Structure 1
Amino acid sequence: MQITTKTAIVFTIMVGAGMTLISCKKSSDQNGRINRQRVPVVNVLVVQPRPADEMADAVGTLLPAEEVELRPEVPGKIIELNFREGSLVRKGQLLVRLKDDDLEAQMRKTNLQLDMAEKDEFRKRKLLEIQGVSQEEYDAALHLVNTLRADLDLLKARLDQMRIYAPFDGKIGLRSVSPGAYVSPSTVIATLQQTNPMKLEFSVPERIAYGVASGKPLRFTVGDSKTVYSGTIYATEPGIDPSTRSLKARALVSNPEGKLMTGSFARINLLLEHFPEAFVIPAQALVPKLDGQMVYLIENGLCKSSDVDVTMRTDSSVVVTRGLKTGDSLIISGLLQVRVNAPVNVMPSGKTN
């Protein structure tokens, strides 16, 4: 009975030790699996420079390059309207003529008087050379010639006031008067516009005003049309409007076929800045911090952080100007699971986390 009891005790001890070893091995395996599961798996982007354009949207209004209301300088009766409504006219073309019979008669009379006075001045000049007349008589004749010439210039100026000429090439609008109507300087006879080229006027907020300058291109559409037109900025206001915190600018737009109309609403897309070599990264890779923004990188299998400066932002991407270099492995997913200086695993190519 003693041998049997000892044998049972030894067997019990051996079974217990074996179970303890099995339990320890299972615990070790479970801890290994847990540790492996705690290493985050992320997607990365190898940073490479590429060209990028910073664009901005704005709205504007199409304006004529030149515009003038045709008004008479003096009151009078219209005797000629030398244009058709909606027609193209040339610079210097006579458009409107007021009644000027009295001025024409005065000019003919003054011309006759001037002709006689010039002949008298010539005769007395010859006589003066041989002392046939006094200096005073000759001076009086010369004075009369100069006076009549001045009178004639005045009549010509008054006669020009009775006519309206086109100050530039353009398209004339609808007239508001008829031949025979009496008009005054307050009467708008018609409007003349130069529509090729045209001006596109728009404003941009202060935060992007730095990118609006003379010589920069832009594109725009008008109304519901899908046609894209182009133009070039030629001038801006000298400063920001303090009441709207915006900068007003104008662009020149070619309109040879006359499809664009003044007053039209335009949706504008303009180039603010071109980056020949930019680091463009997904917007979700940015991590905000108290004093700016940062990104996570992988270096030797460990997560590292890098502060960055961002200059251009869209809904899906940003341009980084500081904090990245060519070849950096940028973490673009799993940002909430990674920790600085902790190991990370990279998702195999073709898979996403």
Structure 2
Amino acid sequence: EPVNVEVEVIQTTQQVDDFDLPGVVEANSVVKVAAEVDGRVEYIYDGHAPAVPTQPTSIATTQPQTAAASVPASAAASTPASAPASAPGKLEGVVVDKGQLIVLLNRELLEADYIRAKAQADLDVRDFERISQLIEKKIAAQQELDQARTKKDVSLATLKTAQARLDRATIIAPIRGVLNRLPVSTGEYVAPGTCVAQIVDTETVKVAVNVPERDVPWLKKGQSLTIAYGGGDDSPSAQTGETRLTGNISYISELADEASRTSRVEVTVDNSKHILRSGQIVRVTIPRQVLENVIMIPLRAVIPLENGKEVYVVRDGKAKSCKVVLGFFKGDRVQIVGDAKGQTGLKKDDLLIIPGNRYVSEGQPVKIQPSSTTQPTSAAT
């Protein structure tokens, strides 16, 4: 007596052989801004520009054009529009631009050093010019000129050092980013090397993922990958509630980890909307290859045997067994790559038995029943 079965028409499709791995979001750069000179903290960024220090009158007219004895006008005037009109105390967690003044150290001793170096340099320059004129008149000895030149060069170098130290009392942001931490307070003394600010750039982020060494050859720098996060399920195939972004591979480690046999891969992602946060876990889809004319069937149609796996199809009104070899999985479907001889026992337009496949045997008559639930293989992408 014929057995009632439901079937699915086998179709060939294009399939992407890919897999998902967890990745960790990292900031593009984390900069710890350190003091380069010692001094007492007089100002910490609070949304308002500080008062410009008074320039010593003794150097106001003789200071070189390249000197910056006072706070740079750009730093003094650079206050982000997002800063509040009245912000008591230091601000953390706000965006600062490159060049923004963030910490100002006491400058009194540094200005005194500059004045002393400038005065000595002016004197030595005048001495050198005077002796040069005497040499032209053959009144002074060449040795005196050499000594004057040496004193002048040393004085100018000392002046340059004093100017650089004075400039470094004004600490500015080296990059644009979020002012994540200000670990010092007004009135605190800092020494060279003391961290006074931490700036984090998250407008572009890196997603670090450890890829098994056997899959690394499928990847290349510049390749586009899909980043997903916020899924409603912890399984790799979860799609509910996901947000997807794309990024490009910017780094592939040449060395694999000896313990895990994985290589670090970094994917650069535009995060100008600040959607991703440093430390967030995301899912990265790694494509291996694009396959053409692939047969994908429901996994429930496969019957495990002691020495392999089989499926049943309907041919001439009877059930026919086909030994199959499985490939990759995608959702509830599996790729059929062939049979034990390397040839797929399934063909396009075959009628694959799904419900009822465990109640038939080779050559048994079957009766196909209509089904409203069975979806064709071409729908599985």
Q: Are residues 104 and 338 of structure 1, via their aligned partners in 2, closer, same or farther at CA, if it must alter by over 3 Å?
A: same
User: Does 1:217 find its partner at 2:217?
Assistant: no
Partner residue in 1 for 2:320 = 303
Aligned pairs for 1:1-353 (under 5 A) are: 37=1, 43-83=6-46, 84-184=91-191, 187-203=194-210, 214=221, 215-222=223-230, 226=241, 228-232=243-247, 233-263=249-279, 265-273=280-288, 275=290, 277=292, 278-288=294-304, 303=320, 305-308=322-325, 310=327, 312-322=328-338, 323-324=343-344, 327=348, 329=350, 331-333=352-354, 334-336=356-358, 342-345=362-365, 347-348=367-368, 350-351=370-371
- The runs of 5 or more residues in structure 1 that have no matched partner are 1-36
Please say if residues 53 and 271 of structure 1, whose CA atoms lie closer than 8 Å, have aligned partners that are also in contact. no
Q: Are residues 351 and 166 of structure 1, via their aligned partners in 2, closer, same or farther at CA, if it must alter by over 3 Å?
A: closer
Number of residue-to-residue matches in the alignment: 312
Q: Are residues 259 and 44 of structure 1, via their aligned partners in 2, closer, same or farther at CA, if it must alter by over 3 Å?
A: closer
| RMSD (CA atoms) | 3.7
Query: 1:140: how far off?
Result: 1.5
Distance 2:214 2:301 in 1: 24
Please say if residues 113 and 148 of structure 1, whose CA atoms lie closer than 8 Å, have aligned partners that are also in contact. yes
Query: 1:122: how far off?
Result: 3.3
TM-score by length of structure 1 reads 0.71
Distance 1:284 1:226 in 2: 27
- The runs of 5 or more residues in structure 2 that have no matched partner are 47-90, 233-239, 375-381
Aligned residue type for 1:100? R
Please say if residues 98 and 174 of structure 2, whose CA atoms lie closer than 8 Å, have aligned partners that are also in contact. yes
Identity of aligned residues (%): 26
Please say if residues 310 and 321 of structure 2, whose CA atoms lie closer than 8 Å, have aligned partners that are also in contact. no
Q: Are residues 221 and 192 of structure 1, via their aligned partners in 2, closer, same or farther at CA, if it must alter by over 3 Å?
A: same
Match of 1:158, SS state, is: helix
Query: 1:185: how far off?
Result: 5.1
Greater relative contact order, per chain length (Cα 8 Å cut-off, separation 6+): 2
Q: Are residues 317 and 59 of structure 1, via their aligned partners in 2, closer, same or farther at CA, if it must alter by over 3 Å?
A: same
Please say if residues 41 and 104 of structure 2, whose CA atoms lie closer than 8 Å, have aligned partners that are also in contact. yes
Q: Are residues 306 and 117 of structure 1, via their aligned partners in 2, closer, same or farther at CA, if it must alter by over 3 Å?
A: same
Please say if residues 28 and 204 of structure 2, whose CA atoms lie closer than 8 Å, have aligned partners that are also in contact. yes
Query: 1:126: how far off?
Result: 4.4
Please say if residues 12 and 348 of structure 2, whose CA atoms lie closer than 8 Å, have aligned partners that are also in contact. no
Distance 2:275 2:192 in 1: 33
TM-score by length of structure 2 reads 0.67
Distance 1:281 1:190 in 2: 58
Distance 2:244 2:348 in 1: 39
Distance 1:153 1:46 in 2: 83
Larger Rg: 1
Aligned residue type for 1:268? R
Please say if residues 41 and 345 of structure 1, whose CA atoms lie closer than 8 Å, have aligned partners that are also in contact. no
Distance 2:310 2:192 in 1: 68
Please say if residues 57 and 267 of structure 1, whose CA atoms lie closer than 8 Å, have aligned partners that are also in contact. no
Q: Are residues 102 and 247 of structure 1, via their aligned partners in 2, closer, same or farther at CA, if it must alter by over 3 Å?
A: same
Please say if residues 208 and 264 of structure 2, whose CA atoms lie closer than 8 Å, have aligned partners that are also in contact. yes
Aligned residue type for 2:40? K
Match of 1:218, SS state, is: strand
Instruction: Identify, as 1 or 2, the structure richer in helix.
Output: 1
